[in-house]
């Protein structure tokens, strides 16, 4: 579980935005803080990534991710968000676990120090550290990482950035307000058009009463 609000916020942002990114894919499973058991009969061989993406597995609720029940497909991409409580030994063990049990991309972000590290599986080898994370694009997810002076920004393949739930709500409110304003403008124009049409009918009727051919009939 998260140790503080900053770590929890980042876990939620990653997990929720990754789910949104793959919302139209029924064969992509995304989870946060879910125990992954790698080997049947060995419950001690487990880890709970802060966020993970499994390509090729169906969406749905799970009590844990038991790899032998998932066509033996390991999570391909995992994320860890550091907190002051994480130790070097703990993170070293996680790196070894992910390397041993098939992770293809591994990202570690320290929100306090604004330090982002990434590892990618080299062909025929284990996980190797990515030399330059600034502007790095995940080969499997297509997301891009940009380290700013005061924060990390993650971008979707379409260029939109990962948003918090509050930011998504604010954008939805803005879109609703814009749509409401457009509707009100259209309604006002319709009312004006109806009023003008009524006035034309009234004038036409009056001219006909006077025996004048309005030419509008």
pLDDT in tens, 156-173: 999 999 999 888 867 767
Sheet strands (E) in 115-159:
115-121, 127-129, 144-147, 152-155
Tokens for 154?
């993650």
Nearest CA-CA partner of 11 in 92, 142, 111: 111
Which helix (H) or strand (E) segment holds residue 80: the answer is strand 77-81
Tokens for 187?
């309604």
Task: Average the pLDDT over each of 64-73, 97-106, 205-214 and give the range with the smallest value.
Answer: 205-214
Sort 204 into a burial class: Cβ within 10 Å, 0-12 / 13-18 / 19+: middle
Q: Which pLDDT value is given to residue 79? A: 98
Q: Which pLDDT value is given to residue 127? A: 95
Q: Which pLDDT value is given to residue 13? A: 96
pLDDT above 60 (res 60): yes
| Segment 74-89, tens digit of pLDDT | 999 999 999 888 899 9
- As a whole number, the mean pLDDT across the chain is 89
Q: What is the mean pLDDT of residues 55-81?
A: 97
Tokens for 105?
């991309």
Q: Which pLDDT value is given to residue 196? A: 76
Which helix (H) or strand (E) segment holds residue 97: the answer is helix 88-100
Q: Which pLDDT value is given to residue 107? A: 98
Tokens for 21?
């990114």
Q: Which pLDDT value is given to residue 215? A: 62
Residue 21 C-alpha from the chain's centroid: 5
Q: Which pLDDT value is given to residue 156? A: 96
| Segment 11-41, tens digit of pLDDT | 999 999 999 999 999 999 999 999 999 999 9
| % of the chain with per-residue pLDDT over 90 | 66
pTM comes to 0.79
Tokens for 56?
């090729």
Report CA-CA distances (Å) from 53 to 5, 50, 127, 172, 176: 23, 11, 17, 26, 32
Looking up tokens 């004048």 gives: 212
C-alpha span between 22 and 173 (Å, rounded): 23
Specify the 3-state DSSP secondary structure of 127: strand
Higher-confidence residue: 200 or 36?
Answer: 36
Sort 196 into a burial class: Cβ within 10 Å, 0-12 / 13-18 / 19+: exposed
3 — pLDDT class (breaks 50, 70, 90)? confident
CATH of span 5-162 = 3.90.1570.10
Higher-confidence residue: 187 or 63?
Answer: 63
């Amino acid at each position: 579980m998260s140790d503080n609000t900053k770590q929890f916020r980042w876990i939620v942002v990653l997990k929720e935005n990754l789910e949104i990114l793959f919302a139209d894919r029924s064969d992509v499973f995304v989870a946060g803080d879910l125990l992954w058991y790698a080997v049947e009969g060995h419950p001690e061989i487990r880890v709970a990534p802060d966020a993970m993406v499994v390509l090729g597995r169906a969406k749905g609720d799970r009590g844990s991710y038991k790899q032998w029940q998932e066509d033996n497909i390991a999570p391909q991409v995992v994320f860890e968000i550091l907190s002051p409580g994480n130790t070097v030994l703990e993170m070293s063990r996680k790196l070894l676990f992910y390397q041993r049990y098939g992770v293809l991309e591994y990202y570690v972000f320290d929100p306090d120090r604004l330090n982002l590290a990434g590892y990618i599986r080299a062909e025929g080898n284990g996980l190797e550290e990515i030399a330059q994370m600034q502007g790095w694009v995940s080969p499997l997810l297509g997301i891009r990482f940009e380290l700013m002076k005061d924060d990390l920004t993650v971008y979707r393949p379409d260029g939109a950035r990962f948003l918090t739930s509050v930011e998504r709500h604010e954008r939805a409110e803005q879109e609703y307000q814009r749509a409401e304003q457009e509707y009100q403008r259209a309604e006002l124009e319709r009312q004006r058009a109806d009023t003008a049409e009524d006035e034309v009918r009234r004038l036409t009727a009056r001219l006909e009463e006077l025996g004048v051919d309005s030419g509008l009939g």
